[in-house]
Amino acid sequence: MAAAGVVSGKIIYEQEGVYIHSSCGKTNDQDSLISGILRVLEKDAEVIVDWRPLDDALDSSSILYARKDSSSVVEWTQAPKERGHRGSEHLNSYEAEWDMVNTVSFKRKPHTNGDAPSHRNGKSKWSFLFSLTDLKSIKQNKEGMGWSYLVFCLKDDVVLPALHFHQGDSKLLIESLEKYVVLCESPQDKRTLLVNCQNKSLSQSFENLLDEPAYGLIQKIKKDPYTATMIGFSKVTNYIFDSLRGSDPSTHQRPPSEMADFLSDAISGLKINQQEEPGFEVITRIDLGERPVVQRKEPVSLEEWTKNIDSEGRILNVDSMKQMIFRGGLSHALRKQAWKFLLGYFPWDSTKEERTQLQKQKTDEYFRMKLQWKSVSQEQEKRNSRLRDYRSLIEKDVNRTDRTNKFYEGQDNPGLILLHDILMTYCMYDFDLGYVQGMSDLLSPLLYVMENEVDAFWCFASYMDQMHQNFEEQMQGMKTQLIQLSTLLRLLDSGFCSYLESQDSGYLYFCFRWLLIRFKREFSFLDILRLWEVMWTELPCKNFHLLLCCAILESEKQQIMEKHYGFNEILKHINELSMKIDVEDILCKAEAISLQMVKCKELPQAVCEILGLQDSEVPTPDSDIGEDENVVMTPRPTSAFQSNALPTHSASGARDDSPTQIPVSSDVCRLTPA
């Protein structure tokens, strides 16, 4: 065990109110309670568990006080120093009877961005820290026996003082440790968790993604393939394979093709590259022609937005405004207003008065739903397993959502309370769906921009209307998108598709996370704000997010093929793109691809339907096909969409003359060009 001196690193877990009862076991003396802070830190590829007495020097000005109003809604107010700055905003509350705070303010903690503070008090008699590699076992208290406590036993048989959790249970700590070690019950004592350290050192891009212990992944896929897919497909590399295989040497050389079959079985029915299926026809190779050069513009300013509003508050030229947003995004000061229109919370043709009335109505509706779960007693919840499961999963996810962002950082953060409450209320709004892992990622940027519980909820509900199929149990939305993405990618570069297939990567599972939560974990937080608002314009075509996927993959094609990446390397490489992608560059490339396809007069019907294009000339099944030509097949998507107006460009760019092949279904008919 290392000396308990100054320690710094990235904080994975932090909990105050963790006590040592220094006189435990003495019959003639009461316990002396020593309050402390327990932390789990990541430093130089090592995980440290650190407990030390609580510093007496507290800055009360940095404390955010919580109280409950008559409707049992948590309200956050500032310490006295800051209270005066927000007074005028409190007067603008939609409904006075709800007594809610419309904005959330923060006072930055002394330590930020995940860095632990340095301690100046020196060593303490009771302070201790140890490396997780030295941990042998953890003993837990019996259920129902007062405060929960844990006793750490190290490999050199050193038993550390019991840590008593006076402010909550110890489950979050156990969950944090399970990201790095495998914990399993001792056959001799169910209260004792034995540590089985396997190779679970994940790269930086995998951080906070492995949400369950690896040893349970296969069982979870069998029980709940959807949730397991979220935590597995986008992160499968040799690191995780090693954990899945265990210590049996005979399994260490499992071929990638076997692992690919394992992944494909997890989403039953998803066969992207089906061959020789009935009902399919083929077409000849298509030359897409020149790809235009696209340049982005400046974000829409508050002044430009205001100029497009009439005296009653209506947006004057909606199509023009959407074009401007698509071209450059929005200035941050404008997002709080504009996102409500883009997401459908506010109708584009509504007046200011109509929107005020709508907000009052929606405020009432929101808090009535919120009170449905807030008023459930503990006794009632014991008989409601579904609500318990939702609450447990939400608390787990909220605790690790965007914690490096100032809006959500630190302990007892009001932003986390609001995240939790909005997600719990959504379970009342949509009983059938409830909460599914990943939804907190979609809510976080909305709450950050809105700074308002009610507005954030209704924007989130509107966004979930678009994303609902992604989170449904049968995963039909995800299956459809992966099939559509394969169709588009094959049209753009059949050679790259063939290479991916040769490496057992043709199912494009590495794009699963991109599609599921709309690139939320691939770009920086601020870049996601830009990317989402552009996509919400629904320009320049339907399913523009699939063209974004194509643009990213096209950018990585050269490295993947030239370095001969196999199944494992492709998955690892795609994951490590996280936070390294230039959002403006990818938006330009994706728009250029869309313009290139629009100008092509021979687009397959399948592609026209995916992108919502109606006027391309499509070869019919009786098109002349040479006997020796290579052909491919794919199913026809089941729906078509009306097209949006497309912008025109006169710029020309480098020509991509590589021919490709694309399938169409047997019932394709020829469309007349415009």
pLDDT at 490: 94
Q: Which stretch of 44-48, 107-111, 152-156 has the lowest confidence by average pLDDT? A: 107-111
- Spatial neighbors of 303 by CB under 8 A, at least 6 apart, are none
Q: Which stretch of 40-44, 118-122, 467-471 has the lowest confidence by average pLDDT? A: 118-122
pLDDT higher for 427 or 182? 427
pLDDT at 165: 86
pLDDT at 591: 97
pLDDT at 180: 85
Average pLDDT over residues 302-318: 95
pLDDT at 6: 52
- Three-class secondary structure assignment of 560-612: HHHCCCCHHHHHHHHHCCCCCCCHHHHHHHHHHHHHHHHHCCCCCHHHHHHHC
Rounded Cα distance, 390 and 387, in Å: 5
Confidence of residue 7 (pLDDT cuts 50, 70, 90): low
Q: Residue 446: is its pLDDT beyond 80?
A: yes
**What are 83-94's pLDDT values in tens digits?**
444 443 333 433
Q: Cβ(562)–Cβ(271) under 8 Å?
A: no
Q: Cβ(646)–Cβ(541) under 8 Å?
A: yes
Average pLDDT over residues 599-619: 79
Domains detected in the chain: 10-21+32-54+125-196 (2.30.29.230), 330-470 (1.10.8.270), 476-611 (1.10.472.80)
pLDDT at 189: 86
- Spatial neighbors of 522 by CB under 8 A, at least 6 apart, are 513, 514, 552, 577, 578, 579, 581
Q: Residue 660: is its pLDDT beyond 70?
A: no
- Three-class secondary structure assignment of 378-434: HHHHHCCHHHHHHHHHHHHHHCCCCCCCCCCCCCCCHHHHHHHHHHHHHHHHCCCCC
Q: Residue 586: is its pLDDT beyond 50?
A: yes
| Angle formed at CA 462 by CA 412 and CA 368, multiple of 5 degrees | 60
Average pLDDT over residues 502-506: 92
Q: Residue 243: is its pLDDT beyond 50?
A: no
Residue 97 DSSP code: G
pLDDT at 576: 94
Rounded Cα distance, 127 and 614, in Å: 70
Q: Cβ(403)–Cβ(415) under 8 Å?
A: no
Average pLDDT over residues 481-496: 94
Confidence of residue 265 (pLDDT cuts 50, 70, 90): low
**What are 162-221's pLDDT values in tens digits?**
898 887 668 889 888 888 888 888 888 888 999 874 333 333 333 333 333 333 444 444
**What are 49-92's pLDDT values in tens digits?**
988 887 533 333 332 333 333 333 443 444 344 444 444 333 34
Confidence of residue 478 (pLDDT cuts 50, 70, 90): very high
Confidence of residue 146 (pLDDT cuts 50, 70, 90): low
Q: Which stretch of 384-388, 556-560, 641-645 has the lowest confidence by average pLDDT? A: 641-645
Contacts by 74-82, CB closer than 8 A, 24 or more apart:
74/417, 74/421, 75/99, 75/100, 75/101, 76/101, 76/104, 76/414, 76/417, 77/101, 78/105, 78/107, 79/107, 82/107
Q: Cβ(134)–Cβ(57) under 8 Å?
A: no
Confidence of residue 12 (pLDDT cuts 50, 70, 90): confident
**What are 530-543's pLDDT values in tens digits?**
999 999 999 999 99
pLDDT higher for 105 or 476? 476
**What are 336-395's pLDDT values in tens digits?**
999 999 999 999 999 999 999 999 999 999 999 999 999 999 999 999 999 999 999 999
Q: Which stretch of 168-182, 237-251, 415-429 has the lowest confidence by average pLDDT? A: 237-251
pLDDT at 326: 98
Q: Residue 321: is its pLDDT beyond 90?
A: yes
Contacts by 556-563, CB closer than 8 A, 24 or more apart:
557/493, 557/496, 560/499, 561/496, 561/499
What percent of the chain clears pLDDT 70, i.e. is strictly above it?
Answer: 64
pLDDT higher for 507 or 594? 594
Q: Quote the crossing angle between the two packed helices 544-562 and 494-502, to the nearest 10°.
A: 60
Token pair in block for residue 541 = 């075509």
pLDDT at 23: 58
pLDDT at 186: 86
pLDDT at 252: 39
Q: Cβ(24)–Cβ(31) under 8 Å?
A: yes
Q: Residue 96: is its pLDDT beyond 60?
A: no
pLDDT at 436: 94
Average pLDDT over residues 479-487: 94
**What are 30-48's pLDDT values in tens digits?**
457 788 889 998 887 788 9
Average model confidence (pLDDT) across the chain: 74
Confidence of residue 285 (pLDDT cuts 50, 70, 90): low
Confidence of residue 143 (pLDDT cuts 50, 70, 90): low
